[in-house]
Amino acid sequence: MKKLATTLSIFFLAFGAINAQETQVQSANGAEITFESEVIDYGTIPQNADGLRVFKFTNTGTAPLIISNAKGSCGCTVPSWPKAPINPGESGEIKVKYATNRLGPINKSVTVSSNASEPSTVLRIKGNVVEKKTTPVKEESMGAPVAN
């Protein structure tokens, strides 16, 4: 009975070790998403300015990259992403549109979900929206007073 228990234990340990090695190989040969930058700074921008910015990325892995979702931290941050798989070595873009009609600091995030080895990546946008300056209207002069 002891021999049977020992033999079964060795079998299960060997099976577990082989299975663990296969898992490591699969993750080493998968998709990998590498962003040029994970933070975009809008700087100080006027109210109602163009709020569209682009996060550029490359699939640095060995399998096609599939982005399943990109979600903004609030309704004022709307991302769009490529729906088709990105092959190894190819690049793509995630566009983020921020509603610049809101005054004040920007500190928002976009969570990107994919089949990459790190399945979730958080991108950030920051900056400050200030009231749009208006230029004063210069009054036309009627000319110099005329002496009578």
Domain count across the chain: 1
- Residue 24: per-residue pLDDT: 35
- Residue 23: per-residue pLDDT: 33
**Residue at 9 is within a domain:** no
- Could you list the residue range(s) of the whole structural domain that residue 70 is in? 30-130
Condensed to tens digits (0 to 9), the pLDDT of residues 3-31 reads 655 554 555 445 555 444 433 333 455 99
Condensed to tens digits (0 to 9), the pLDDT of residues 58-101 reads 999 999 999 999 999 999 999 999 999 999 999 999 999 999 99
**Residue at 7 is within a domain:** no
Condensed to tens digits (0 to 9), the pLDDT of residues 103-135 reads 999 999 999 999 999 999 999 999 999 998 776
- Residue 21: per-residue pLDDT: 40
Q: Is the pLDDT of residue 140 over 80?
A: no
**What type of residue is 113?**
S
CATH code, domain with 65 = 2.60.40.10
- Alpha-carbon distance values, 14 to 5, 6, 27 (Å): 14, 12, 21
**Residue at 1 is within a domain:** no
**Residue at 20 is within a domain:** no
In 1-136, alpha helices (H): 2-28
The C-alpha atoms of residue 43 and residue 19 are separated, in whole angstroms, by 50
